[in-house]
Structure 1
């Protein structure tokens, strides 16, 4: 099975391989595509749209069986206080689309305030952690959970949910 993942970020490629590890003859190719949303998606709607756009654009970029889109964003979550890191995945074969979300992780107020003021989460995390490219490593998820879950596992979890219509007949 050939799968195009709509990002050249190695963490997103690895997350796709992890979620599809049960598939024989798997080939995952990272494809640079446009998400069609802002660099820092805000809200569930924009984050989902980014994942859907990446999946469609990845599928259209080659002779793939599936296109995968993974998108991280920040969102207020009804019934809670604070701003959350959210992760969404979308999968398409050109006919069907599956969507799934990963864990929602509350951002510390000091980080949330900077993001609300217009900064992107990745660079803020780099600054707070005094590192470079945290998004290509453990991600904010790894930092916020002390390594209990890292970005790859969080994104793989979102993708596992999105694969439902492709791995079971329960979706009709």
Structure 2
């Protein structure tokens, strides 16, 4: 049995040993997994919001914001021996958890989180190889860094493998 490491809301973790990175309760939040299949090193972020309303000079960048999470993980993954050209990404979450009247003119938080994740991946040149996004239900993820497989669990939904 692999060691399990929990990734909380607004956190990211990178693992160079074979582990299972887990995150729970992705509603409108997005889980972003990055993986180098050759060295079997991966990272998982549980992002809360697409981007800060305004950037504050000197503020610490965290995985709270989807727009920063990819860069933060890539930086750590490269230090662990990953090659940027081998990195692949998987996404899950970004659900519509509230009634449509609570959406802004720019869409719901979930939709905006997914869009921000795709933009960050494109900007970094990382291909998106699998995703389970949208819908109206929350998800939990189990990312096995030995295999690169993510198990997506949701109430009243079949288990999905990404």
TM over 0.5: no
Specify which structure has the bigger relative contact order, considering alpha-carbon pairs within 8 angstroms and separated by 6 or more residues: 2
More helix by share: 1
TM-score (normalizing by structure 2): 0.38
TM-score (normalizing by structure 1): 0.36
More strand by share: 2
